[in-house]
Structure 1
Amino acid sequence: MSAAAASTGPQIVFPGKARVAEGPVWDAGARRLHWVDIPAGHLHTGDPVTGRTSSLALPTQVGAAVPRRGGGFVAATSEGFASVDTEGSMTVRRAILLDSERMNDAKCDQYGRLWAGSTTMDFHHGKGALHVLMPDWTSRVVLEGLTLPNGLGWSPDGHTFYLADSMAGEIYAFDADPEGSGLTRRRTLFRTPGHAGMPDGLTVDAAGCLWVALWGGDRVVRISPDGDVLGELPLPVHQPSSCTFGGPGLDVLYVTSAREGLDLADDDPAGSVFAFDRVDAVGLPATAFAG
């Protein structure tokens, strides 16, 4: 994949001024993209065909929200985990975090369990953790000692789990038991040079390659399962925050972005959602939360 030949994009598919747009997830049944604005507590849903969006305002910060099998969403919030109905009514189902903490990125595995990273509001070193929420709404801590856990994903066979720790500038790979929730043999798959930005949200394609948004790096990079950079997609924004594949063929790469901390002109596209067509890759279908 070369930057020049990768796509007709990036195109702004959902214009916006989100402080920190994050957590894009493709809802194949509804043919809609969902994403959040973390500090604003907004949960957005967009139709790429019409460009129309609808939004739910939640009474908390929300790191990510994923559709539930029975309708509505599960949300990773400042409190822990919550259910959200289609009208925006939120119920905290699992309050496990301190006032100084919040959930960040989250994603469901193939069994409908929600994996989520927590962090402190000031990103205190080593105080972040990785949690897994089961369909019965019980949860446990899987991994401690992180700072800003981000960018979760699995290999197509489910045997490798990927996790970015943004402040460390690293993406880790773990051996995973697809039917269990244990992680072993942690190793560093990829490390970003200091000037290249931080690894933020990521997605894994059907070939097993990672697509990683580089916060502060103006681009998305494609990384092989061995950690080699295969190509990059430059963006007209400084803080791309996450990405996912969507569209009827799972062949459109959607990328969220952020305005937080930047002094920008009003017409700067930061905070919008972008789309790349024809990136010579197909994504994996998202799984709804089973609870």
Structure 2
Amino acid sequence: MRPEIAIPGKATVGEGPVWDAAVGRLHWVDIPAGHIHTSNPATGRTASLTLSTHVGAVAPRRTGGFVAATAAGFAAVGADGSMTVRRAFLPDSERMNDGKCDRQGRFWAGSTTMDFQRGKGALHVLMPDWTSRVVLDGLALPNGLDWSPDGRTFYLADSLAGEICAFDTDPENAGISRRRILSRIPAATGMPDGLTVDAEGCLWVAVWGGERLVRISPDGDLLGEIPMPVHQPSSCAFGGPRLDILYVTSAREGLDLSDDDPAGSVFALAQVSAVGMPSTRFAG
């Protein structure tokens, strides 16, 4: 299978793709630029909002607009780009990173220091009433996160540690327990970044600096690899009307690239023999 450019771009750090079935669009962000992109892969056209801050991830809200994980904390973003920080709790030396909604409409997101200090990162959950709490601390760079199809297992990548961890989770109480390492990515071959879980319960993980995606079974077995035409694939999500197209974001940050290098674009893989699970809107 060959990755094709679905959405041309030059994102510094393209991240956080989420397929919005209600409008048939892919939402994704450029973290340091503060951009929230809404793209139509059928036409290649993108509409963008620009925030005055880093934005690690967004999810559509049931009431319209987005919930955003920003440098300050959690914010509400209107369709016109207006932003209201609803839950500010991070100092200037930290920012939010990757995030995703669970099936109960809660928004989970990681935080990290600007210089990625080990042990200073944390995982937070934002409730529909806009209260939040720390679910897990002691991380470095919390990144890709998702849940098993039955909602009973939670997955989280800690990029600098090179680990993809699995946890038991209680869907009713947003709790996680029994942390174990599902898989490791050797540092010499890249870092685990954003991830998504397919309908069979397998994980698709973008390997930053590794020029590839990997598919991992729920037991941690490596099932396959897909080479990517960019050095820093950053995250992935299933989309399209049948959720059978895997969209992959990428980044140009830190690389000396020519103008025609495709890094920073969003790629599509249309023949991965897997389908994804529907995304959930934030309930707040």
Band of TM-score, shorter chain: over 0.9
Counterpart for residue 290 of structure 1: 283
Runs of 5+ unmatched residues, structure 1: 1-6
Q: Is residue 2:4 matched to residue 1:11?
A: yes
Q: 2:226 aligns with which of 229, 233, 236?
A: 233
Report deviation, 1:178.
Answer: 1.3
Cα separation, 1, equivalents of 2:164 and 2:152: 16
- Superposed CA deviations along residues 108-164 of structure 1, whole A, max 9, x for unmatched, are 000000000000000011000000000000000000000000000000000000000
Amino acid at match of 2:55: V
Cα separation, 2, equivalents of 1:88 and 1:58: 7
Cα separation, 2, equivalents of 1:182 and 1:249: 31
Counterpart for residue 197 of structure 2: 204
Cα separation, 2, equivalents of 1:50 and 1:216: 29
Cα separation, 2, equivalents of 1:123 and 1:191: 19
Amino acid at match of 2:9: G
Cα separation, 2, equivalents of 1:242 and 1:76: 16
Cα separation, 2, equivalents of 1:40 and 1:111: 30
Cα separation, 1, equivalents of 2:118 and 2:223: 31
Report deviation, 1:210.
Answer: 0.1
Report deviation, 1:232.
Answer: 1.1
Counterpart for residue 252 of structure 2: 259
Report deviation, 1:194.
Answer: 2.0
Amino acid at match of 1:232: E
Equivalent residue runs for 1:54-65 within 5 Å? 54-65=47-58
Q: 1:53 aligns with which of 43, 46, 55?
A: 46
- Superposed CA deviations along residues 169-195 of structure 1, whole A, max 9, x for unmatched, are 000000001111111100000001122
Q: 1:143 aligns with which of 136, 157, 161?
A: 136
Cα separation, 2, equivalents of 1:46 and 1:196: 31
Amino acid at match of 1:230: L
Q: Is residue 2:206 matched to residue 1:213?
A: yes
Q: Determine what percentage of the aligned residue pairs are the same residue.
A: 75
Cα separation, 2, equivalents of 1:278 and 1:178: 32
Report deviation, 1:48.
Answer: 1.0
Q: 1:195 aligns with which of 188, 193, 197?
A: 188
Cα separation, 1, equivalents of 2:171 and 2:136: 17
Report deviation, 1:233.
Answer: 1.0
Q: Is residue 2:107 matched to residue 1:114?
A: yes
Cα separation, 1, equivalents of 2:59 and 2:189: 30
Cα separation, 2, equivalents of 1:14 and 1:88: 21
Counterpart for residue 30 of structure 1: 23
Equivalent residue runs for 1:22-101 within 5 Å? 22-101=15-94
Amino acid at match of 2:133: R
SS in 1 for 2:277: coil
Amino acid at match of 1:139: S
Where has structure 1 moved over 6 Å in runs of 4 or more?
none
Cα separation, 2, equivalents of 1:25 and 1:79: 22
Cα separation, 2, equivalents of 1:232 and 1:171: 16
Amino acid at match of 1:285: P
Report deviation, 1:51.
Answer: 1.0
Counterpart for residue 172 of structure 2: 179
Cα separation, 2, equivalents of 1:22 and 1:51: 17
Counterpart for residue 3 of structure 1: none
Runs of 5+ unmatched residues, structure 2: none
Cα separation, 2, equivalents of 1:30 and 1:119: 32
Cα separation, 2, equivalents of 1:249 and 1:180: 31
